[in-house]
Each structure stands twice: as C-alpha cells, then as structure tokens.
Amino acid sequence: MTKELISQNTIAQVFETARVEEVIGDFVQLKKAGSNFKGLSPFSEERTPSFMVSPVKQIWKDFSSGKGGNAVTFLMEHEHFTYPEAIRYLAKKYNIEIEETERTDEEKAQADARESLYLVSEYANDYFQNILHKTDQGKAIGLSYFKERGFTEETIKRFQLGYALHEWQAFTDEALGKGYQLEFLEQTGLTIVKEDRRFDRFKGRVMFPIHSMSGRVLGFGGRILTNDKKAAKYLNSPESDIYHKSKVLYGLYFAKQTIAKEDNCYLVEGYTDVIQFYQTGVKNVVSSSGTALTPEQVRLINRLTKNITVLFDGDAAGIRASIRGIDLILEQGMNVKVCTFPDGEDPDSFAKANTLEELTNYLNENAKDFIQFKASLLVKEANNDPIKKAETIREIVNSIAKIPDAIKREIYVRECASIMDISENVLFSTLAQISKKEFQEANKKYKQEQKAFEVVKNEPQQKQKVDVQYELERKIIEILMLYGSRTEQFEDLILKEDEVSGELLLEPAIHEARVFEKIYLDLQEDEMMFSNENFRQLYYAIIDKLNQDDNFSTKDFINQLDQESASEVTTILMDDEKYNLHDWERNHIIPKEKEHSVSQLVSQTILSLRCYLIDQKVAEYKNETLKDNVDSRSIIEDVKDYLGLKMLLSRKLGKVIGG
C-alpha cells in the first residue's frame, strides 16, 4: 500500500483556482459585508459575527480565536487536514486532476496516528461498498435490504452504503493483508481484540458511513438484519481520535449547501430518515444518529442557518423524550419549529409514500412554532387538571426563558398567554422570577470568584504599555503587502535657508516612486533594522518578491509562506476589516480609507518610526553619561545632533499629518 506525493504543478493549479469564499461557504453561512463576507466563527461559541472573509485578498480572519489564513489553512484548522489532504480536497472540489509522484515506504511510515485512523476508515468504507455490490452475499442480503427500503442504486452509491460479511473476521483479515495495522483497526473500533482473538465489530450488518462536514469518513453505523434478540439493532463506531458522536451529524456533508440555500435544516432521528428524505428531494436534512441532541451538534447547524425544524414520528413517548432538545436549540439563539407525522408513520415511511410536492406541502402546513407545539402537547397531557395545567405553563415559560433575544421572549410570552388563556402579566412575572433566579445564581458565582482576588484588589493596576516600535513595524508590513507595488507621488521636505531672513525652511520636492522602493531606501538611509524577528524576515521576503515580480500578488505571496507566517500576515491584513463587523456606517461613523492617501501614510509611518528610534537613542546616551569613565562632552554633542534631527523630523511629520 503506497501513497503518492502531489506534484508542485497540481498545488499551483489548486491555489490558482480555489476561491476562499466558496471553500469556507461550504462550512459557514457567509453574508455580504461591503466588499467582504462575514459569519459566525466556526472555532468558538458566539452569537455575533467575528469571522471575516476577503474575496479580494483571498484570505480569512477569525477575530474571536485569532486564527486566519487562506483556503488551505482554513481546511487544516477546521477539518484538521494535513497539507496534502487539504490540497486533495480542493482538487476534488474544483475537478483538478492530481499529478502524483510516488512516496517512499519511509515517508509512508512517518504518517501520524490520526491520519492512519482516517486511512483505515476510508479503506473500510471502500471495502464495505465493494462487498455490497460485488459479492453474492452482499447482493443477496445487503443490497436487497436497501432495495426493499426503496433506495435507488444512485442513492445507495451517493451515501456510500455497504455491507459487512456475516463472518467473524473477514474484514480484519483483508485489512491486515493490505498492510493496515491492527492497532488502528482496533482504535477505530472496526476490529475488536480480545487477548489473541480478533473479531469484526460489524459482522453481518448493513453499513452507513458517517462523514465529517468535508466528507471524510469518521466512523460507521451498522444495522443488523437478523432477529437476534441479544444483538443491538443499530451499532455505532466507538469514540476515537477522529469520531466523537456528540460533535457529528449524520448527513451534514450532503445537506450543508442546501441548508444554507434554503435557510432551514430538518432534524430527524435515524439514518434511513435522512436518506429517504434526500432521495425524495428534501436535501436539507440531518440526523443526530440516535443519540440525544448536543450543544455541539446544534452549533454545527447554527453555522449554516438560524432555523431548525425538528421532525418527530407519531410516537408520543418519543416526542416527550425528544422535546428536551428544543430547549437546547433555543439556548443557542435559534428559531425552532416542530412537525409530527401521523400515527404509525415516521419521516422515512412518510417520505417513501409521498411525492416531493406532497412531502413539502405537508411539512409547510404542519410545522408549528415550538410554543404552539409544546403547548398543544402539554395541554393534552394536563387533561383539564388545574395543577397539571399550571405545571405546563411553567414548563413553557422555562423554555421561553432560554431564548437570549428579549424581543423574541416577549413575543412568545404573548403567544403563550393567548394559547393557554392566561394573563400576560402573570407570565411576565413568572419569566422575571426565573430570570431573577438565574441572575442571582450567576451573581453568587461571580462574587465567589471575586473573593479569591480580594487580597490583591487594592493594588493599583498598571496600564498595558503600547509597544510603539512593534506597531510601526507591523504597519510597514501592512503597507508593503497592500500597496508595495503601487507607484505614488511622494512629497519630500528639503531643509533650505531663506536668503533674506536666514531662517531654515522646509521646501517640498515632489518625486515619483514605487511604495516598496520608497520604504526600502528611507529605512536604508537611517540604517534602521526591525526589532521583531518575524517582521524582519517578512520584510526582506516581501521586498525581495516585489523586486523580482512586477505583478506582485498578496494571495500568491501568502500561499508560499509557512503556516505561522501566513497566519501573521493574514492577521495584519484583516485588522481593518473589523470595521465591517459593526455596521459603523449605519451609525454615521465612516472609518478613514487609507487608499486615498497612501503616500501620506507611508511618509507618516516612516517618520514616526525614525522619531521613535531617535528617542530610544537619546535615552541610551543619557544612561551612558551616568556611567564612570565616560567622555560626557562627546555624548552631549551627539545628543544635541539627534535632538536637532528629531526636531526637523517632527516638523516634517507635522506637515505630513496636517497636509
């Protein structure tokens, strides 16, 4: 089993073709914000967008976690891809043929454990599909089962459904024979090891591969087809380094684009519910795979849409148990609707028996707002018992209290009052009591935490000092990246003596230069060096690239950097995009556009840095004069020269800023 290395030609083609907004749009719902896009961070829990994507610069920045980069780094951060995996994913997305060179056994052996788990899972997925379609047992048992469920050949292949032979170690022996290691077969749960014996976990089951949001196989669900009372009907892969069932939704890989497009997600319980809905034509559907809904799963949907419609079958006990998930969805600030099916029907059977038009009509007509649904369900249970009715109302108000948005809370209170035939004031009072209790608990916790700090409470807090040189060096990198190749008119101020008065005057002299040449020559003139090592390396790399390439591209330059440097540059370039996150223009605050005064910005930044370095030099000299055996007269002369230069530069700076 040998893996291949991707050619440089393919990598270059991938970087040239991939659009960062399209790649990220598969994972995060992006909305236009000026020339950029914004969305909720996929790396942290947040309700207001701090994630920015720049189509012009082909980079992204997440201000909540500090991460940033290009399309490849996003896949590496979000999907935990290795660099080659990210390239392969993009090549597949954009239909780019991958040119490969063979990888040595030594290089193969260096693949990390996590990657080995993915490789084993991918192999198992191919193996189970092959058994289903190309063996007599697979076709007679597995394929006939799927056909009986009403799944077409196309659907079976799309969802990569498979079959595990009804033999104790058929898969394990085959995988070991192909060179896959037993430790990884065991870690993924595909093989059970007991002392010196090995068993296939999914023996005799039809197989449902569980994919990540990007389509990687993380684990499996297997359904038994015999009437063995001792065996579980459904069996899932155990937890592993790549599979965490509380953080995965079955079908999300196939549904994500339609969820974002339709701005709604249908949430069902089982694998076949998802597949049958998809086959009928409702593609924005996912399943929690038989586990209780978790906050992590809700947040996966929240990245794509704010709207969830929970679908229940007609089983009242199941509905009562599942209704707890609704509060979880409300807590995340999402909108919830609920739709139930007639007695004896579930999403799978209903979708199978109806056309797309019938199914969509039913969903639209029967999807109730969660408050109407919960009220009608609980009222039925209360059966005119006043005490039970009071408990029902309290339970509904408890759900309303979970909603973060105050306006939505008030609307739901009014709706609840109307449905339950009770005074709004009573409900608002109850809501206030719940909120007050929660506030008191939070306040109590806060006070307990503060007690721990009381010992140092009265110590004066030092203000965080701004590192001026760091900020100015950072600004120079930003200017070079954004405007380095541009040609600008620069106004240099030359010191001249007035022929009449004898006073020293600053006279303007206009000259044309490319921005990077101006910066390089000015810094060389004063022999200024960057104090920050990262900035110094970036500075010389950018200058070198600008010197060689008349068509300097920010995107191409970032793509050639290592991940740490690329993240640093992205952070610098995207800092200004924070303005777009706050809709400042709506509040009549217009951030100044730098592009309108690039030459002024360049001059101002370099002059400020020169003034700052002079101050540093003067401070050094002053410290020198305090030492013994030092000729203070020559130092004082040097200080005078520096102060004279500082005064001249300050006058220039004042002219630049004042225009």
**pLDDT per position as a tens digit, 108-152:** 554 568 888 999 999 999 999 999 999 999 999 999 999 999 999
Task: Name the β-bridge partners of 199.
Answer: 192
Average pLDDT, the chain: 81
Which pLDDT does position 278 carry in this prediction? Answer: 97
Are 309 and 363 a contacting pair, CB within 8 Å?
Answer: yes
Task: Say which CATH topology domain 112-243 has.
Answer: DNA primase DNAg catalytic core, N-terminal domain (3.90.980)
Gap between the Cα atoms of 545 and 439, Å rounded: 57
Tell me the average pLDDT across 415-419. Answer: 83
pTM reported for the whole predicted model: 0.67
Smallest CA-to-CA distance from 228 within 204, 199, 193 is with 204
Which pLDDT does position 236 carry in this prediction? Answer: 93
Which pLDDT does position 446 carry in this prediction? Answer: 46
- Nearest 5°: the CA angle 88, 94, 96 is 65
Which pLDDT does position 588 carry in this prediction? Answer: 43
Residue 658 has pLDDT above 60, yes or no: no
Q: Which of 97-111, 196-210, 381-395, 459-473 has the highest mean pLDDT?
A: 196-210
Q: Which of 266-275, 323-332, 574-583, 635-644 has the highest mean pLDDT?
A: 266-275
Return the amino acid letter for 128: F
Among 188-197, 224-233, 378-387, 528-537, the minimum mean pLDDT is found in 378-387
Burial of 211 from C-beta contacts in 10 A (0-12 / 13-18 / 19+)? buried
Tell me the average pLDDT across 494-508. Answer: 64
Which pLDDT does position 584 carry in this prediction? Answer: 43
Residue 434 has pLDDT above 70, yes or no: yes
Gap between the Cα atoms of 453 and 239, Å rounded: 40
Burial of 519 from C-beta contacts in 10 A (0-12 / 13-18 / 19+)? buried
Which pLDDT does position 163 carry in this prediction? Answer: 97
- Write the CATH number of the domain with boundaries 4-106: 3.90.580.10
Tell me the average pLDDT across 241-264. Answer: 91
Which pLDDT does position 261 carry in this prediction? Answer: 84
Are 283 and 298 a contacting pair, CB within 8 Å?
Answer: no
Residue 429's pLDDT band, with cuts at 50, 70 and 90, is confident
Q: Does domain 252-435 have CATH number 3.10.450.40?
A: no
H or E element in which residue 128 lies: helix 113-134
Residue 453's pLDDT band, with cuts at 50, 70 and 90, is very low
Pairwise pLDDT comparison (359 vs 574), residue with the higher score: 359
Residue 1 has pLDDT above 80, yes or no: no
Tell me the average pLDDT across 467-482. Answer: 86
**SS3 state at 224:** strand
Tell me the average pLDDT across 546-571. Answer: 81
Residue 455 has pLDDT above 50, yes or no: no
Tell me the average pLDDT across 218-238. Answer: 89
Which pLDDT does position 285 carry in this prediction? Answer: 97
Q: Which of 359-363, 433-437, 584-588 has the highest mean pLDDT?
A: 359-363
Residue 648 has pLDDT above 50, yes or no: yes
Which pLDDT does position 307 carry in this prediction? Answer: 94
pLDDT above 90 coverage of the chain, percent: 29
Which pLDDT does position 624 carry in this prediction? Answer: 65
Residue 168 has pLDDT above 80, yes or no: yes
Q: Where are the alpha helices (DSSP H) in 526-560?
A: 533-548, 554-559
**pLDDT per position as a tens digit, 303-348:** 888 899 999 876 655 666 567 788 889 888 889 999 988 888 889 9
Return the amino acid letter for 217: V
Which pLDDT does position 415 carry in this prediction? Answer: 85
Residue 45 has pLDDT above 80, yes or no: no
Among 159-168, 544-553, 583-592, the minimum mean pLDDT is found in 583-592
Break the chain into its structural domains and give their ranges: 4-106, 112-243, 252-435, 468-576+594-658
